[in-house]
C-alpha cells in the first residue's frame, strides 16, 4: 500500500487532517530523539540522488529557508537554491513557466516556495499535475513556506509540535495568548486551524485595533469551537488575571503596513512589547514563543529575557529543522504506510443549484394568461427573468437588473422594471426578453451567480412552459468576467499568471477564492 502522504501539497495547514498532523508530530518526535541520541538516522532519509529539492524564496527569509535547506540536504538529494535575483523573473517570466521547466530536471521534485502572492502553491499544485500527466513526469510536491499575509503552514507545524512538547503531549486542552501584529502575521492566521490538534482551545488575542486579527480568522476560530478573548495590550491582559501559560509573540510587520499605521508605530509597539515591570505578574510555568526574527532595536520580547526560564523560542526555532525533515520525508512517501487515521479528502461540490419547477402541480399557470409584459404588450414568446433581488431595497434591485444586463450583454429588444410582488409587501425586479427563446447551461449558471434567488421562465403562446429557480452555484469558474479582489492573490490579473479565477461557496454563502481563500460577497466577484 502506498502512503496517503505521497505527492501531497501543503498550501494551508488544513491540507492535512488533524490525524495526519498528529502522525507528523509523532514521527518528528521519533526523529528528534534519534538525532539527539546519535542513533542510526538512515531510516529517516529518502536517499534518492535523482530527487530534486527546489527552494524558491521570493521574500526574505533566514530560519525557514536555512532549516529547509538543511532538511533537504539531510535527505541527500539535489538541493537547488533558486537565485531569484539573477533569474528570468527579472525578464518578466511567470512563476508557472519557471516551475514547469525546473520539474523536468528530476524524477521527483519538491518545491518549497515563499512568495508575496497568496495561494501560489494551490495554483501550482493543480497546474503542474495536469502538465505532469501530459508530459509523463511525476507530479511535484509543493510546500508553502509563507505566502503574503495568508498562511505559513510549516511554521504552524513547528509551533504545534513545540506546544505539544510544552504540554507533555497532552492534547486535552490548550490556553494560548497570541500577542503582536495579528493582522499581518501569517503564522497567527494558520493557528485558526492548526490549534485544532487540541480538543479544547482558548485563545487570548492581544493587539491594538490597528493590528487586530482579521475578522475572517476570528470567525474561523469560533467555528472551530475555540473560546476567543480579546485584549488591547499586554497591560490590560495582565490586569484581568486569567493569563495563559503559553504566550506566542509576533513582530510588527512594518514592510506590510500602510503609512497610516506606520505613523502610530511607537504607540502600537508599546502595547505589545513585554516590559521588565510585568515579570512578577507571570506564573512560573509561563513560556514565551516567537516565530522570529526579532527586531534588534525594538524586540517585542526584550533581550534581557533570553537567559530566563521564559525562553521557549530558541528550542521552538530548532524544532523547525526536525519538522521540516519530516515534512519532506512524508510527502515523498517515506512514511505513512502504517497511518490509519482520517485522510484529507478533496472537496466535492453539490451540483443542484438549478431547480426546475414542476409546472404540472400548478396546472392553472399554463392556462392563465401571463402578466409579463414588454413595454405595454404581454410577452407571447420568449424568456422572463423574475424575482430579481426579491425583498431587498429598491436600489439593490435596480443594481441587480443593471448587472444582469451588462454582464450577460443583453443588448436586445426587451424591457425591465421593479414591481410589487403579488401577495406580499415586497419588491422584485423583472426583465422580459421576447427575442430570446432559449438559455444554455452556462448562461443559467451565470445568472444564478449574478442574482441568486431569481427565476427564469420560458414562455410559449403566452404561457409559462418551463420554469427554473436559480440558487447560488457551489463553484464558479470559467467566466472571463470574474476575478479575485485580493490584490495579493496569485490569480489577480496584475500578476499575469495564466490562471482562471475559481471560487467555491462557503457554508455562510460567501464566495471563497480557491487560491488565496479571500471571502467575497457574490456581487463582488464580477468585474463589470
Ligand atoms: C515569520 C514569517 O516569515 O512569516 N518568520 C518565519 O518564518 N520564521 C514571521 C515574521 O516574519 O515575522
Report the separation in Å between the CA atom of 294 and the middle of ligand 1, taken as the mean of its atom positions.
10
Q: What is the pLDDT of residue 361?
A: 67
Cell numbers 506546544 correspond to 163
Could you report the per-residue pLDDT of 69-98, keeping only the tens digit for each?
999 999 999 999 998 888 887 888 999 999
- Pocket test residue of 155, 184, 207 for ligand 1, highest count of atoms within 8 A of CB: 155
Core vs surface per residue 291-311: b (16+ CB within 10 A) or e: bbebeeeebbbeeebeeeebb
**Mutation test of ligand 1: which of 181, 293, 295, 300 has the most ligand atoms closer than 8 Å to its C-beta?**
293
Assign residue 382 a region (left: φ > 0; alpha: ψ between -120 and 50; beta: otherwise). Answer: left
- Cα(72) to ligand 1 centroid in Å equals 20
Q: Give the position, in ligand 1's atom list, of the atom nearest the Cα of 251.
A: 12
Contact 195, 201 (CB under 8 A): yes
Q: Please write the tens of the pLDDT for every residue from 375-431.
A: 666 788 899 999 999 999 999 999 999 999 999 889 888 899 999 887 677 999 999
Question: Residue 339: its pLDDT value, please?
Answer: 97
Q: Mark out the alpha helices in 287-331 (DSSP H runs).
A: 313-331
For atom 6 of ligand 1, the residue with the nearest CA is 291
CA of 253 to the centre of ligand 1 (A): 9
Whether the upstream peptide bond of residue 293 has omega within 30° of 0, thus cis, is yes
CA of 291 from ligand 1 middle (Å) equals: 6
pLDDT bin (cut points 50, 70, 90) of residue 208 is very high
Looking at ligand 1, which atom is closest to the CA of residue 320? Answer: 8
Residue of 59, 62, 64, 153 best suited for mutating to test ligand 1, as the one with most atoms within 8 Å of CB: 64
CB 244 within 8 A of CB 204: yes
Q: Which ligand 1 atom is at minimum distance from the Cα of 253?
A: 12
Contact 351, 474 (CB under 8 A): yes
Q: What is the largest CA-CA distance in the chain?
A: 89
Mutate to test the pocket of ligand 1, among 187, 207, 256 (most ligand atoms within 8 A of CB): 187
Q: Which three cell numbers stand for residue 506?
A: 462557503
Task: From the CA of 64, give the closest atom in ligand 1.
Answer: 7
CA end-to-end span of the chain, whole Å? 50
- Round to whole Å and give the CA distance between 330 and 214: 32
Whether the per-residue pLDDT at 496 is higher than 70: the answer is: yes
> What pLDDT score does 364 carry?
42
Q: How far is the CA of 346 from the centre of ligand 1 (A)?
A: 29
Residues 267-319: pLDDT tens digits?
999 999 999 999 999 999 999 999 999 999 999 999 999 999 999 999 999 99
Closest atom of ligand 1 to 59 CA is 3
Whole-angstrom distance, CA of residue 29 vs CA of residue 335 = 14
Report how far ligand 1's centroid is from the alpha carbon of 292 (Å). 6
- The predicted pLDDT at position 374 comes to 64
pLDDT by residue (tens digit) across 145-189? 999 999 999 999 999 999 999 999 999 999 999 999 999 999 999
Pocket test for ligand 1, best of 65, 68, 249, 291 (most atoms within 8 A of CB): 291
Q: Which atom of ligand 1 is nearest to the CA of 146?
A: 4
Higher pLDDT, 238 or 255: 238
Q: Which atom of ligand 1 is nearest to the CA of 186?
A: 4
Task: State in Å: Cα 49 to ligand 1 middle.
Answer: 31
Say yes or no to pLDDT of 18 above 50.
yes
* Residue-level pLDDT at 509: 87
395's CB contacts (< 8 A; 6+ apart) are none
Residue list, ligand 1 pocket, CB within 6 Å: 63-64, 146, 152, 155, 186-187, 250-251, 253, 291-292
pLDDT of residue 1: 62
Q: At 356, is the pLDDT very low, low, confident or very high (cuts 50, 70, 90)?
A: confident
The residue-averaged pLDDT of 205-223 equals 96
High-pLDDT (> 70) share of the chain, %: 96
96's CB contacts (< 8 A; 6+ apart) are 123, 124, 127, 497, 498, 499
* Residue of 290, 324, 293, 288 lying closest to 307 (CA atoms): 288
Closest ligand 1 atom, residue 145 Cα: 7
Instruction: Report CA-CA distances (Å) from 15 to 18, 235, 496, 504.
Output: 10, 37, 26, 16
Q: From CA 72, how far away is CA 30, in angstroms rounded?
A: 18
If one counts every other C-beta atom within 10 angstroms of the C-beta of residue 373, the result is: 15
Question: What's the 3-state SS for 175-234?
Answer: EEEEECCCCCCHHHHCHHHHHHHCCEEEEEEECCHHHCCCHHHHHHHHHCCCEEEEECCH
Work out whether strand 200-206 and strand 463-470 pair parallel, antiparallel, or are unpaired: unpaired
Q: How far is the CA of 419 from the centre of ligand 1 (A)?
A: 55
pLDDT band per the 50, 70, 90 thresholds, residue 435: confident
Closest approach atom of ligand 1 to CA 292? 8
How close is the Cα of 259 to the center of ligand 1, in Å? 21
3-state secondary structure of 359: helix
Residue nearest to atom 8 of ligand 1 (CA): 291
Amino acid at each position: 500500500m502506498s502512503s496517503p502522504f505521497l505527492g501531497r501539497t501543503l498550501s494551508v495547514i488544513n491540507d492535512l487532517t488533524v490525524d495526519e498532523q498528529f502522525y507528523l508530530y509523532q514521527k518528528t518526535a521519533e526523529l528528534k530523539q534519534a538525532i539527539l541520541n546519535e542513533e542510526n538516522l538512515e531510516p529517516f532519509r529518502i536517499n534518492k540522488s535523482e530527487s530534486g529539492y527546489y527552494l524558491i524564496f521570493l521574500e526574505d527569509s533566514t530560519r525557514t529557508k536555512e532549516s529547509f535547506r538543511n532538511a533537504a540536504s539531510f535527505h541527500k538529494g539535489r538541493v537547488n537554491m533558486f537565485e531569484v535575483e539573477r533569474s528570468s523573473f527579472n525578464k518578466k517570466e511567470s512563476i508557472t513557466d519557471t516551475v514547469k521547466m525546473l520539474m523536468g530536471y528530476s524524477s521527483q521534485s519538491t518545491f518549497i516556495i515563499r512568495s508575496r502572492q497568496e495561494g501560489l502553491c494551490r495554483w501550482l499544485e493543480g497546474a503542474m499535475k495536469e502538465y505532469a500527466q501530459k508530459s509523463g513526469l511525476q507530479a511535484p510536491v509543493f510546500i508553502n513556506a509563507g505566502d503574503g499575509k495568508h498562511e505559513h503552514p510549516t511554521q504552524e507545524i513547528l509551533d504545534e509540535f513545540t506546544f505539544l512538547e510544552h504540554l507533555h503531549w497532552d492534547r486535552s486542552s490548550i490556553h494560548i495568548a497570541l500577542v503582536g501584529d495579528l493582522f499581518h502575521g501569517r503564522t497567527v492566521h494558520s493557528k485558526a486551524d492548526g490549534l485544532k490538534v487540541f480538543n479544547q482551545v482558548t485563545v487570548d488575542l492581544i493587539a491594538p485595533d490597528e493590528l487586530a486579527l482579521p475578522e475572517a480568522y476570528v470567525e474561523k476560530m469560533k467555528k472551530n469551537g475555540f473560546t476567543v478573548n480579546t485584549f488591547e495590550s499586554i497591560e490590560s491582559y495582565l490586569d484581568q488575571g486569567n493569563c495563559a501559560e503559553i504566550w506566542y509573540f509576533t513582530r510588527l510587520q512594518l514592510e506590510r503596513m500602510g503609512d497610516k499605521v506606520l505613523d502610530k508605530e511607537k504607540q502600537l509597539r508599546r502595547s505589545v512589547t513585554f516590559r521588565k515591570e510585568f515579570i512578577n505578574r507571570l506564573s512560573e510555568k509561563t513560556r514565551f514563543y516567537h516565530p522570529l526574527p526579532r527586531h534588534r532595536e525594538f524586540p517585542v520580547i526584550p533581550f534581557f529575557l533570553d537567559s530566563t526560564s521564559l525562553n521557549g523560542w530558541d528550542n521552538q526555532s530548532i524544532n523547525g529543522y526536525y519538522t521540516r525533515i519530516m515534512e519532506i520525508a512524508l510527502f515523498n512517501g517515506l512514511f505513512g504506510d502504517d497511518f490509519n487515521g482520517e485522510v484529507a479528502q478533496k472537496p466535492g461540490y453539490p451540483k443542484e443549484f438549478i431547480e426546475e419547477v414542476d409546472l404540472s402541480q400548478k396546472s392553472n399557470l399554463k392556462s392563465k394568461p401571463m402578466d409579463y409584459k414588454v413595454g405595454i404588450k404581454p410577452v407571447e414568446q420568449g424568456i422572463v427573468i423574475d424575482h430579481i433581488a426579491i425583498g431587498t431595497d429598491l436600489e439593490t434591485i435596480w443594481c441587480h437588473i443593471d448587472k444582469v444586463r451588462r454582464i450577460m450583454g443583453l443588448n436586445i429588444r426587451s424591457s425591465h422594471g421593479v414591481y410589487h410582488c403579488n401577495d406580499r409587501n415586497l419588491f422584485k425586479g423583472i426583465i422580459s426578453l421576447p427575442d430570446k427563446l432559449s438559455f444554455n447551461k452556462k448562461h443559467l449558471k451565470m445568472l444564478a451567480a449574478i442574482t441568486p434567488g431569481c427565476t427564469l421562465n420560458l414562455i410559449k403562446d403566452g404561457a409559462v412552459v418551463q420554469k427554473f429557480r436559480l440558487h447560488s452555484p457551489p463553484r464558479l469558474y470559467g467566466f472571463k468576467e470574474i476575478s479575485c479582489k485580493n490584490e495579493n492573490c496569485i490569480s489577480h490579473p496584475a500578476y499575469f499568471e495564466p490562471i482562471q479565477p475559481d471560487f467555491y461557496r462557503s457554508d455562510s454563502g460567501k464566495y471563497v477564492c480557491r487560491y488565496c481563500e479571500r471571502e467575497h460577497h457574490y456581487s463582488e466577484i464580477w468585474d463589470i
